[in-house]
Amino acid sequence: MSGAAPGRALAAGIALLCSLPLQAAETIGVGQFSAGVLEHWESEIFSGTTEYQLESDPEQGAVLRANSQASASGLFRKIEVDLNSTPWLNWSWKVDSLIQGADERTRSGDDYPARIYVVFSGGVFFWKARALNYVWSSSQPTGSEWPNAYTGNARMIAVESGEAQLGTWRYEARDVRADYRRLFGAEPGPVAAVALMTDTDNTGQFASAAYGDIWFGSAAATVAP
């Protein structure tokens, strides 16, 4: 009988733990396009205007469509994010066409069918601010990293590459804090803004892409919260 009470206590403790709800991962919504929301996003035009508009998608619901014809303009949202608590950037995107024959490491080839910027301090778009650029590359292998052709404050990371996944929704998750530490050799401060851009001004070509929801989280995810 002496072992019965501890056994009952252990069982009761396990039952109590099982009855408690699991703690949800912390999330910060940035782009809530599936809900048809474009609030808080502002436009920045560099050379010509890329067309951005919400449209219906059978897989994602509402998404943000971007069409660029020899243009470079983007959308940005000022938002402060503490990477110590929510270091993971999560998003989905789909690219329908690539940039042909461009060397993305040069100014003449610095065009991308889809890219997402995480901007830190010193400005929003982009020259004085440190920024990480997550791109769908037309020519560099997936996983490649290189300095931006226009500014030493930005680093490019090819999250997707080439035509193998064209027309397919891809779900991405990046540890922004780890990427910043590796590429800048320092600890990041808070995120100051997130931006997206589909641009073809340097090559004069056409590119089309769609962006799904974008959010920061305490963990990597493939489904929007």
43-52 pLDDT, tens digit each = 999 989 999 9
Residue 190's pLDDT band (cuts 50, 70, 90): very high
Residue 151's pLDDT band (cuts 50, 70, 90): confident
More confident residue, 163 or 6: 163
Strand order, beta sheet including 154-161: 42-47, 72-81, 191-199, 112-119, 131-137, 154-161, 145-147
Residues 6+ apart with CB under 8 A from 114: 66, 93, 95, 135, 136, 196, 198, 207, 209, 211
pLDDT at 23: 41
Domains of the chain: 26-217 (2.60.120.260)
pLDDT exceeds 50 at position 134:
yes
Q: Which residue reads 């769908």 in tokens?
A: 136
pLDDT exceeds 90 at position 122:
no
pLDDT tens per residue across span 59-97: 899 999 999 999 999 999 999 999 999 999 999 999 999
Residue 129's pLDDT band (cuts 50, 70, 90): confident
DSSP string, the chain: -TTHHHHHHHHHHHHHHHHSPPPPPPEEEEE-GGGT--TT-EEEEEES--EEEEEEETTTEEEEEEEEES-EEEEEEEEEE-TTT--EEEEEEEE-----S--TTSGGG--EEEEEEEE-SS-SSSSSS-EEEEEEESSSPTT-EEE-SS-TTEEEEEEEESSTTTTS-EEEEEEHHHHHHHHHSS----EEEEEEEEE-TTTT-EEEEEEEEEEEESS--SS--
Answer whether 112's CB lies under 8 Å from 201's CB: no
- Burial of 132-155, coded b for 16+ CB within 10 Å and e otherwise, reads bbbbbbbbbeeebeeebbeeebbb
Question: What's phi and psi for 96, nearest 5 deg?
Answer: -105, -20
Mean pLDDT of 204-220: 96
Longest CA pairwise span in the chain (Å): 84
pLDDT at 158: 97
Q: Tell me the average pLDDT of the chain.
A: 87
d(CA 90, CA 182): 19
Residue 121's pLDDT band (cuts 50, 70, 90): confident
pLDDT exceeds 50 at position 22:
no
pLDDT exceeds 80 at position 167:
yes
Mean pLDDT of 87-113: 94
